[in-house]
Every structure is written in structure tokens, then in C-alpha cells.
């Protein structure tokens, strides 16, 4: 039987936890340490420029954190008419909105375990606050960077697919298990998780969680995802004498598993950009006709 899991939002919801997460990101993220990995977030820009042409467009940055990955992409594109940054931590969403360029900026708190609210579509209508743009139906670029490993992937992709219109595009990233065998590939990247800054962040989240968890210790390991046994999942478990809780989990699919999710979610792959080491990938997709 699966162990009870702390909601992912509990790890980011308070400002102090957001600061600790950022400390982990700065110290441990391969994204910040390897220019080749940063490059895959710039590579989609020519395809996006071709798709949007000279038309104004809007950007919905889901799970944006502080917006650093989105900034690499948008630096290579014309500024959107409307930018809406959305994260479970509104302080981070605000930081992202400040970082990124747009004619109109909005930031929101969001729970990505639920359907995307219709209010997001309304907020992205530029005629509400940019009178010179008469159209209410600008194409939307949705981004989802760094989120997919921490939530059940297929239901999330299906929810976003239902939100997409034919003229919209969806760009998302996935942390991958290098190679073709998920569990052995996940073992290669385990040190990116099991380290002192990550332990400090997760132990702080445990201490602030209510109701309080019993005294215990934090242990990392690689397990099969409860929803898809072939999918490798790195977990941090809080182990006490009475009970075990999953505090954090990060799914590390292979690239072929991600593409199977795309097909099942009734999305169409437009392009794929892979890190040379196979640890991360970015997919550009559209709604299937």
C-alpha cells in the first residue's frame, strides 16, 4: 500500500520555504551549472516566432517559480501582450512577473492539481486593459517548466490539453532518467536530490506541516511510481517508529515515456529538445485536432 504523501504545495507555500527552495536551486540545480542545459530552453524560440509571426500573443507561465527558465525563452521572443505568472507560492509568481518582460503583467496563486480555472482565459484577454488591441482571442503560449516531475504527470497534461485552443502552444519540460532504463538512470541523478541543502529544505517543510508528523528521519531512495510501475520515482521519505510518509517525490521518466504521455493526453508533438546528457528535455506540443 502506498505511503501517505505530503501535498506538494506544502513544500513551497510559505515564504521561508520558498527561500529554502531557492537556496537548493542555486546550490544543486544542474540547470544553473551547465550551459548546455540552459540552451534547450532557448532552442524553441525560432519555432515559436514562426508560429506567432507578427501577431501579438499572451503567455501563461504555470508553476513558474522565480521565472528564470522562462526568461531564457522570452529573451529570444517579442514581448507578449499579456503575461500571467502562476505558482503555488505567490511570492515566487510575483518575482517571475518582475523578471519577465510584457506589456501587461499579472501574477496568481494556483493549484495545478485542479482544472485550470476559466478566469485564467479571461485574464489573458488584452482588450480588458490594452485598448489598442481589439481582439479578445490572442494565441496563448503556455509554459510548464520544472513541475511535471512533482505531480502525477498524465492527469496534469490532460487538464492542460483541455484548456488549449487550436491556435495555442504548450511548452513543457521534464527531468529525465538518462538512458532507456528508468530506475538505473534515476540512480545516476540521485545525488542531485540527496544532499545537505535539499535535506534542510525538506526537514523545514516537515517541521511546519500540520498536523505535526512524529519524530523521525529523512531517507532518499528510488521506487516505482504507484500509478505507473515502470516509471522511476525518487522519493524522500520521513520514517518514524509508527509510520512512513512521502515528503517529496520526483518522477524521472525516460524520453519515450514522456512521448507516450503526450499521445495519451491527446496532444500533438511539434518539436523536442533534449539535454546532451539526457537528464532533461523540453517538448513543444499542440492540441490534437
Q: Residue 127: what pLDDT?
A: 61
What range defines the domain where residue 188 resides?
8-14+179-252
Report the C-alpha gap between 61 and 223 in whole angstroms.
Answer: 30
Is 42 contained in some domain?
A: no
Q: Residue 137: what pLDDT?
A: 78
Q: Residue 122: what pLDDT?
A: 84
Q: Residue 133: what pLDDT?
A: 59
Residue 240: all three cell numbers together: 518514524
The answer to whether the Cα torsion of 52, 58, 64, 69 is positive or negative is positive
8 Å CB contact between 252 and 232:
yes
Percent of the chain, pLDDT > 70?
96
> In a 3-state reduction of DSSP, which class is residue 81?
coil
Is 248 contained in some domain?
A: yes
Is 220 contained in some domain?
A: yes
Residue 254: all three cell numbers together: 525516460
Phi, psi of 197 (to 5 degrees): -60, -40
Q: Residue 1: what pLDDT?
A: 65
Percent of the chain, pLDDT > 90?
78
Q: Residue 132: what pLDDT?
A: 60
Each residue's pLDDT tens digit, 187-220 = 999 999 999 999 999 999 999 998 889 999 999 9
Is 31 contained in some domain?
A: no
The domain tally of the chain equals: 1
pTM of the model: 0.89
Instruction: Give the chain's count of helices (H) and strands (E).
Output: 11, 10
Is 43 contained in some domain?
A: no
Is 149 contained in some domain?
A: no
Is 242 contained in some domain?
A: yes
CB atoms within 10 A of CB 88: 22
Q: Which residues of the chain have a pLDDT value below 70?
A: 1, 126-136
Amino acid at each position: 500500500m502506498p505511503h501517505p504523501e505530503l501535498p506538494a504545495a506544502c513544500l513551497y507555500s510559505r515564504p521561508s520555504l520558498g527561500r529554502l527552495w531557492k537556496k537548493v536551486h542555486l546550490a544543486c540545480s544542474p540547470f544553473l551549472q551547465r550551459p548546455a542545459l540552459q540552451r534547450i530552453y532557448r532552442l524553441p524560440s525560432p519555432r515559436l516566432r514562426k508560429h506567432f509571426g507578427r501577431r501579438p500573443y499572451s503567455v501563461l507561465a504555470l508553476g513558474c517559480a522565480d521565472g528564470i527558465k522562462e526568461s531564457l525563452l522570452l529573451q529570444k521572443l517579442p514581448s507578449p501582450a499579456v503575461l500571467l505568472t502562476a505558482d503555488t507560492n505567490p511570492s515566487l509568481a510575483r518575482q517571475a512577473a518582475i523578471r519577465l518582460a510584457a506589456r501587461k503583467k499579472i501574477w496568481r496563486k494556483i493549484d495545478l492539481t485542479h482544472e485550470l480555472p476559466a478566469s485564467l482565459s479571461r485574464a489573458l484577454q488584452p482588450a480588458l486593459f490594452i485598448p489598442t488591441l481589439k481582439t479578445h482571442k490572442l494565441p496563448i503560449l503556455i509554459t510548464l517548466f520544472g513541475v511535471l516531475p512533482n505531480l502525477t504527470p498524465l492527469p496534469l497534461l490532460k487538464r492542460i490539453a483541455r484548456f488549449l485552443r487550436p491556435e495555442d502552444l504548450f511548452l513543457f519540460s521534464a527531468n529525465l532518467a538518462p538512458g532507456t532504463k528508468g530506475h538505473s538512470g534515476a540512480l545516476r541523478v540521485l545525488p542531485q536530490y540527496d544532499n545537505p541543502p535539499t535535506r534542510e529544505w525538506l526537514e523545514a517543510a516537515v517541521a511546519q506541516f500540520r498536523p505535526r508528523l512524529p519524530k523521525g528521519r529523512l531517507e532518499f531512495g528510488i521506487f516505482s511510481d504507484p500509478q505507473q510501475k515502470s516509471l522511476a520515482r525518487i522519493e524522500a521519505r520521513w520514517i518514524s517508529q509508527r509510520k512512513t510518509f512521502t515528503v517529496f517525490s520526483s518522477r524521472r521518466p525516460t524520453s519515450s515515456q514522456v512521448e507516450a504521455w503526450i499521445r495519451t493526453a491527446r496532444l500533438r508533438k511539434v518539436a523536442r529538445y533534449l539535454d546532451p546528457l539526457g537528464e532533461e528535455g523540453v517538448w513543444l506540443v499542440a492540441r490534437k485536432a
